[in-house]
Amino acid sequence: MAELGKGVTAGKLALNVQKRLSRAQEKVLQKLGKADETRDTAFEELVASFNKQMTEGTKLQRDLKAYLAAVKAMHDASRRLQDCLADMYEPDWFGKEEMDALVEEMIEKEMDNNLEDTDTLWLDYHQNLTDKALLCMDTYLAQFPEIKSRIAKRERKLVDFDSARHHFSSLQKGKKKDEAKIAKAEEDLGRAQKIFEELNVELQDELPTLWDSRVGVYVGTFQSLAGHQEKFHKEMSKLSQNLNDIMTKLEEQRQLKKDATAATKKVDDAKSEEANHSESTSPAPKQEPTGTEQASQRDDDEDDDDDDRPRDEVQSGWDYSDSISQSCAQPGWEGPEAAEGQEERGYAAQPYSEPDWDDDDGRVGQGDWGQEEESSVTNGSDADLPPGFLYKVKAVHEYTATDNDELELKVGDAVLVLAFDNPDEQDDGWLLGVKESHWSQKKDISAKGVFPENFTQKV
């Protein structure tokens, strides 16, 4: 059996070699013009169109693969860029004391969602192009190798047909006709013609259909590419806008902190300057009695001794009192110790008497106290102030509210500061209040909100 198999194989190999030699000989004769060649111009045009179609399709497939590789590279580059941004984004860049923690968390959440959506869009875009465009091109081009091999087979069978035809013709034209050889040559010619015509008919039907199919393939490929590009860039533009909005929020917070820091520094500088001014100012000097009061005190002292003195001493005492009165009218001539001694002697000499509060002169010294007390009571009237009122402040910087529970301020707005219902809810550096204009018009406390303390100044 092994020897039989080897014999069959050797026979096929010899037959194939004989066919190749015969085809090569036939082509040489055709090129030398010693043998005619069967030509089909219409089929040659179909083959030329096929070769052009295969070249264009292969180039489109190669460029599409390069585009998808670029999309993947762009995705990787975009992901690295987004990861770099996410790594650099730190919530404590601007200080949690000056910013609302809720806004920070919201921004971080938006950032995470934005990065995830961006990555998903790139993945979907690449996958859709691969499924709808590249796989379609792969399926389209997969039929070309098989058709190309059949075209090559047709060309070989055409050469075999021409060779059989020439051999049969030469036997018929020979002087000595061998009927057996002529019959065998005619049989080989018929078999070669049948094989060639079957392939030729099949290819003439398939090649025009394949040529027309290229339009639908190109339309489907580029429509899919354009549609997915439009969807991708549309969604990506939204995410890019979201990212831009996030960066805008960060810039606003940075500017807000900058303004708040400047305002705090300005207030601290003003307080420091006021403190330095208070320390440098000397206390008010103790009020000295006027010359008239000193003279009156001395007159009282002198009157007590009038009964025990001679008349001439009394007269001389009056002269002495007048001189003292004149000297006391000009306190700059004597030192503060002398004036203080005179006060002590005058107070010691005067007996205690209960003040007369009905006297107009008795109310002169306390006029300012009465005004201050009256003003304090007027400002603290519970009838015109909201419940929980503490004090009033005035906005020195503009503040834009970033949440529903915040109070928006303009420079010069007066705000009535209120006590928190729950002191634990109060954040450091924030106050609760209602605008004085709103309260005066509507007497409604529902419009209250929180605002940064360092944007205001206590009135």
> 390-410: per-residue pLDDT in tens?
999 999 988 888 888 888 899
251: which 2 tokens? 């810039």
**pLDDT confidence tier of residue 177, bands split at 50, 70 and 90:** confident
**Tell me: the pLDDT tens digits for 337-354?**
444 444 444 444 444 444
CB 413 within 8 A of CB 432: no
pLDDT at 254: 74
**Tell me: the pLDDT tens digits for 81-110?**
877 877 776 665 443 333 334 344 444 555
Task: Count the neighbouring beta carbons within 10 Å of the beta carbon of residue 40.
Answer: 13
**Higher pLDDT among residues 325 and 437, named by residue:** 437
The arrangement of secondary structure in 385-458, i.e. its CATH architecture, is: Roll (2.30)
**Tell me: the pLDDT tens digits for 111-169?**
566 667 778 888 888 898 888 888 888 999 999 999 999 999 988 888 888 888 887 88
pLDDT at 11: 65
pLDDT at 55: 95
Name the nearest CA neighbour of 452 among 386, 407, 405, 403: 407
**Tell me: the pLDDT tens digits for 378-388?**
344 555 788 88
Query: Over 70: is that where the pLDDT of 454 sits?
Result: yes
Name the nearest CA neighbour of 294 among 353, 339, 335, 352: 339
pLDDT at 95: 35
Write the CB contacts of 188 (distance below 8 Å, at least 6 apart in sequence): 164, 167, 168
Write the CB contacts of 362 (distance below 8 Å, at least 6 apart in sequence): 355, 356
For residues 120 and 124, give the distance between their C-alpha atoms in angstroms, rounded to a whole number.
Answer: 6
Q: CA neighbours within 13 Å on the CB side: how many for 384?
A: 9
**pLDDT confidence tier of residue 288, bands split at 50, 70 and 90:** very low
**Tell me: the pLDDT tens digits for 21-35?**
766 766 677 676 666
Task: Count the neighbouring beta carbons within 10 Å of the beta carbon of residue 455.
Answer: 23
User: What share of the chain in percent tops pLDDT 70?
Assistant: 63
**pLDDT confidence tier of residue 15, bands split at 50, 70 and 90:** low
pLDDT at 103: 41
Same fold, 22-264 and 385-458: no
pLDDT at 354: 47
22-264, superfamily in CATH? Answer: Arfaptin homology (AH) domain/BAR domain (1.20.1270.60)
**Tell me: the pLDDT tens digits for 41-50?**
888 899 999 9
- The highest-confidence range among 150-154, 324-328, 331-335, by mean pLDDT, is 150-154
For residues 86 and 233, give the distance between their C-alpha atoms in angstroms, rounded to a whole number.
Answer: 22
Name the nearest CA neighbour of 401 among 459, 447, 458: 447
pLDDT at 8: 59
| pLDDT mean across residues, the chain | 73
Query: Over 50: is that where the pLDDT of 331 sits?
Result: no
Domain-by-domain residue ranges, the chain?
Answer: 22-264, 291-347, 385-458
- The highest-confidence range among 77-86, 116-125, 180-189, 225-234, by mean pLDDT, is 225-234
Q: Provide DSSP, 331-390.
A: GGGS-HHHHHHHHHHHHHHSPP----TTSTGGGTTTHHHHHHHHHHHHHT-TTSS-TTEE
**pLDDT confidence tier of residue 70, bands split at 50, 70 and 90:** very high
**pLDDT confidence tier of residue 54, bands split at 50, 70 and 90:** very high
For residues 160 and 26, give the distance between their C-alpha atoms in angstroms, rounded to a whole number.
Answer: 8
Name the nearest CA neighbour of 211 among 63, 58, 57: 57
**pLDDT confidence tier of residue 215, bands split at 50, 70 and 90:** very high
pLDDT at 181: 82
| Residue bearing tokens 């190309």 | 148
CB 415 within 8 A of CB 432: no
In the chain, the N- to C-terminal Cα span, in Å, equals 119
CB 385 within 8 A of CB 416: yes
If phi > 0 it is left, if psi is from -120 to 50 it is alpha, else beta; for residue 399 that is beta
| DSSP 8-state secondary structure symbol assigned to residue 409 | B
**pLDDT confidence tier of residue 284, bands split at 50, 70 and 90:** very low
CA of residue 87 relative to chain centroid, distance: 14
| DSSP 8-state secondary structure symbol assigned to residue 133 | I
pLDDT at 343: 44
For residues 206 and 46, give the distance between their C-alpha atoms in angstroms, rounded to a whole number.
Answer: 10
pLDDT at 121: 85
